[in-house]
A = this chain, B = another copy of it.
Amino acid sequence: MSNTFGSLFRITTFGESHGAGIGVVIDGCPAGVAVDAARIQAALDRRRPGQSDLTTPRKEADTVHIQSGLFEGLTTGTPISLFIPNADQRSDDYSHIAHAYRASHADYTYDVKYGRRDYRGGGRSSARETAARVAAGAVAMQLLAHFGVEIVAYVSAVGEVEVPLDYQELDLSLIDSNPVRCPHPETAARMEARIREAQAARDTVGGVITGVARRVPAGLGEPVFDKLPAVLGHALLSINAVKGFEFGSGFAGTKLPGSVHNDEFYTDETGAVRTRTNHSGGSQGGISNGQDIYFRVAFKPVATLLQPQQTINDQGEAVTLVGRGRHDACVLPRAVPIVEAMTQLVLADLLLRARANKL
């Protein structure tokens, strides 16, 4: 098990879907950061179930409790512990999967790896664990705010429905103007229809989230193994259901000739070093160059279906399972704050690490 992420700004998460709660310990946040609990709660509210009829109707309050690390509203340099009690537990919902392996879930692999598992609601493998990440990310965000860094994410594709524009061409203030969290209203409407279609078919749908980090100081990223995109990719690929990560020009960039792909440097009117294009996605040699960092994250369709599926039980016998209870047909809207949180955690960590580079 590896439930710790980060080097100098480091989080350790714990908790299962149907245990006492979900929590996180943040170690390494510098002293002197003003942390507003309301901003942590606001981040959690964007992730919680039951926000709209597009998402699972489970109503989880997801109230955060700050248990340590703050004194008179400021961080003290000691560990910050956040705890989110599990309010809405219904363990009896899960007896049908105590001995059966849901398709494309972690039931089988946890059993092989550990010899046992807490099967209630997926236990530790449940995406409920990401609530802890979102809470921790909201602390990282308040640290990053001191340095002017701003991070935002949005849904850029639901199934085959894609936003037709690049992030620079969008008004990102519109992200939360619709339940899909897509800043392109016409596409948002089509995405919403696509999700309702999946709901109606008792099926699910995946998609893509685009993330952008602006005003990131040049110099973040630790070659050769902890290059900025490598650590960011690690963070995002550790989110449940993520199948791919690309930054800057990504897979599409492999089709451009070098003469087009290269980002020409110039000095702007303020004397700042800039690039005329940004295929690099704000990172060169694994180190931020001061331009926007942007990336795309692929989410597979949700594995829990409200229709029968063939599978086996832990005796190897064929069985039929039907998903019960309250599940999202599409996780993308609720995954937006998770993508933001992991990006916040990575940049906070790299920012602290960069302090050791020069004499």
Q: Given the complex, which residues of B lie within 8 Å of A10, measured CB to CB? A: 4
23 A–B contacts, CB within 8 A, in A order: A3-B225, A14-B27, A23-B68, A31-B113, A31-B359, A32-B359, A67-B83, A103-B263, A106-B223, A108-B273, A109-B283, A109-B288, A201-B257, A203-B258, A206-B258, A225-B234, A234-B237, A238-B286, A244-B250, A257-B301, A261-B300, A267-B312, A267-B316
Q: Given the complex, which residues of B lie within 8 Å of A258, measured CB to CB? A: 198, 203-206, 300-305
Q: Please choose the segment from A38-46, A56-64, A117-125, A170-178 that sits at the chain B interface, where 4 or more of its residues have CB less than 8 A away.
A: A117-125
- A229 touches B (CB below 8 Å): yes
- A185 touches B (CB below 8 Å): no
- A13 touches B (CB below 8 Å): yes
Contact A243 B237 (CB under 8 A): no
- Contact residue among B78, B115, B201, B289 (Cβ-Cβ distance under 8 Å from A32): B115
A108–B173 Cα distance when bound, in Å, is 32
Interface size of A by Cβ–Cβ distance < 8 Å?
Answer: 151
- Given contacts A1-B79, A3-B25, 19 further A-B pairs with CB under 8 A are A1-B77, A3-B225, A14-B67, A15-B67, A20-B68, A31-B358, A71-B116, A74-B116, A76-B123, A77-B113, A109-B289, A115-B358, A203-B258, A206-B261, A233-B234, A243-B247, A243-B251, A243-B281, A258-B305
B-contact 0/1 string along A236-272, CB 8 Å cutoff:
0110101111111111011111110111111100010
Q: Given the complex, which residues of B lie within 8 Å of A90, measured CB to CB? A: none
A227–B225 Cα distance when bound, in Å, is 17
Give the distance to chain B from A128, nearest Cβ to Cβ, in Å. 11
Interface centre among A7, A108, A281, A302, by most chain B C-beta atoms within 10 angstroms, is A108
- A165 touches B (CB below 8 Å): no
Q: Nearest residue in B to A266 (C-beta to C-beta)?
A: B312
Contact B311 A116 (CB under 8 A): no
A303–B258 Cα distance when bound, in Å, is 6
- A189 touches B (CB below 8 Å): no
- A207 touches B (CB below 8 Å): yes
Those 8 A-B pairs whose CB atoms lie nearest each other, nearest first: A106-B285, A244-B246, A204-B258, A109-B287, A258-B301, A31-B114, A234-B234, A2-B226
- Contact residue among B3, B300, B309 (Cβ-Cβ distance under 8 Å from A279): B300
